[in-house]
Structure 1
Amino acid sequence: MGPETARTAGLGGASGTLVTLVAADGSAAHPYLARLTRGIMPLRDLGDLAHQICLLHARHPDLFEQAAAQSRQPANAEWLAQAVSAFAAERAYLVRVVAAAGPMPSTPGQAASEAAVTAQRHALDMLAQSDRNGCADGTAIALALDWPAIRTVLDVLAERLGIEPPECQLPPAFETATVIDVLAGSLSVERAMAFGAQQMLAQHRGLIDLLEARASARGAH
């Protein structure tokens, strides 16, 4: 059990619900991402993840910036400010890795893949800009909790490309858990946060499903 897992183990209430949700439905639980994490997959498959994540998240404004503009929760302001700053560094790192990885690997059905990622990006935009009190917060929180699993694969790729991965400065899970419990002051807000989190995780799972299908398509040609 790692330090983050140890600090968040046994959480109750809203934070326990969201942390458990990410553990069960987040990117780390996807078998294909687990294979990428082991670093035994072809470089083109690792590079494809970096390219697709770049299309989804390396844009301005990013999800955290959108959530910060939309959130009506003063208790979340400091956490979001830290997340915005940290994710700007993550975007820069992601772009650097993508540039080093070279062009996106040639894959059958490229137009359909691009359309799928565009739809996912639109879905995330809608969640992060939702007027439902708590939805944008839950979306951002889920991204912060799920990002370490994706970051692990980016780091594997970076190291294979000779890039030293910088330390991720996103708020640690135990701090995020504290914010979750402060935000969840009413059942309606807690439900909205859970909805935003569930939908964000669904977009990441969909992207990893797409990556697996693209790798299979390349292997068949």
Structure 2
Amino acid sequence: MTVAIANDTNDWGVADRLVQIVHADGSGTHATPERLSRGGVPIRDVADALHQLCTLHGRHPGVVDLATSATSNAAADDWLAHAGAAFVEERAYLIRVAAAAGPPPGTPGQAAAEAALATQRNAIDQLSRSIRPGCALGAAIAVTLDWPVIRRTLDAAADRMGIDIIPCTLPSPADTRQLIEAVAVNAAVERAMTFGIQQLVAQHRGLWDLVAARAESRG
């Protein structure tokens, strides 16, 4: 006898499907952010990770800023304005904590690491500038949903440096789900948003792979 499988992903709504990509493949499934959030990690490893994060997300315009310029869907305007304002604070916080942690340590293979980061930064910028409806917005959604894991690493470093931890004012997951349902009104937009989300979290995983490899090479 064939038994129907409950909770088949085909029965999920579009918001469930897209959010699950971040849950399944984002920073929360990588060991490095969790390691950096624990006490006892060498400060050089923390400083190195924060420096790499600054390279990708400490710049202006960032992912959300570029996606705002590339997105012409009025249903996304309020969410993008909220996320953009929040990331102004997040960038300033990231830069402040990174500066307190000190410069990145000398690491073998520095030239290769810089080239890898440049490639990641270029890929993120291209996603965020994409005029394919839904793609840039998908990247903005992904960085917003994945940021809480990054924030735990950042907050742990701030606490270690004696810096006040600031509130995170990014859109809530519920608000982001509402945005997805409002914008992904057809299969083409959903596919583009899926691509933007998948590629952004892939770049984050590449970042954590790089941070881990650099820490290992330093012994």
- Shorter-chain TM-score: which interval? over 0.9
Q: Distance in 2 between matches of 1:72 and 1:12?
A: 27
Task: Work out whether 1:43 is the aligned partner of 2:43.
Answer: yes
Equivalence for 1:71: 71
How does 1:13-92 map onto structure 2 within 5 Å? Answer: 13-92=13-92
Equivalence for 1:119: 119
Equivalence for 1:104: 104
Q: Distance in 2 between matches of 1:37 and 1:21?
A: 23
> Which region of structure 1 is more displaced relative to structure 2, 82-91 or 26-35?
26-35
How does 1:138-177 map onto structure 2 within 5 Å? Answer: 138-177=138-177
**Partner secondary structure for residue 169 of structure 1:** coil
For normalisation by structure 2, the TM-score amounts to: 0.93
How far residue 40 of structure 1 moved from its aligned partner, in angstroms, is: 3.3
For normalisation by structure 1, the TM-score amounts to: 0.92
Equivalence for 2:181: 181
Answer whether contact 2:56 2:117 (CA < 8 A) is retained: yes
Q: Distance in 1 between matches of 2:190 and 2:19?
A: 13
What letter matches 1:123 in structure 2? A
Answer whether contact 2:107 2:218 (CA < 8 A) is retained: yes
Aligned length: 209
What letter matches 1:26 in structure 2? G
Q: Distance in 1 between matches of 2:59 and 2:175?
A: 26
Q: Distance in 2 between matches of 1:174 and 1:106?
A: 42
Q: Distance in 2 between matches of 1:124 and 1:45?
A: 24
What letter matches 2:204 in structure 1? H
How far residue 34 of structure 1 moved from its aligned partner, in angstroms, is: 1.9
> Which region of structure 1 is more displaced relative to structure 2, 61-70 or 30-39?
30-39
How far residue 37 of structure 1 moved from its aligned partner, in angstroms, is: 2.2
Q: CA deviation digits over 1:6-59, x for unaligned, max 9?
A: xxxxx9411101211111100011012222222332111111111100011111
Task: Work out whether 1:216 is the aligned partner of 2:210.
Answer: no
**Partner secondary structure for residue 87 of structure 1:** helix
Q: Distance in 1 between matches of 2:41 and 2:12?
A: 37
User: Where do 4+ consecutive residues of structure 1 move more than 6 Å?
Assistant: none
What letter matches 1:163 in structure 2? I
Q: Distance in 2 between matches of 1:51 and 1:71?
A: 29
Answer whether contact 2:37 2:157 (CA < 8 A) is retained: no
Q: Distance in 2 between matches of 1:89 and 1:171?
A: 13
Task: Work out whether 1:134 is the aligned partner of 2:130.
Answer: no
> What are the ranges of 5 or more consecutive residues in structure 2 without an aligned counterpart?
1-10
Whichever of the two has the greater Rg, that structure is 2
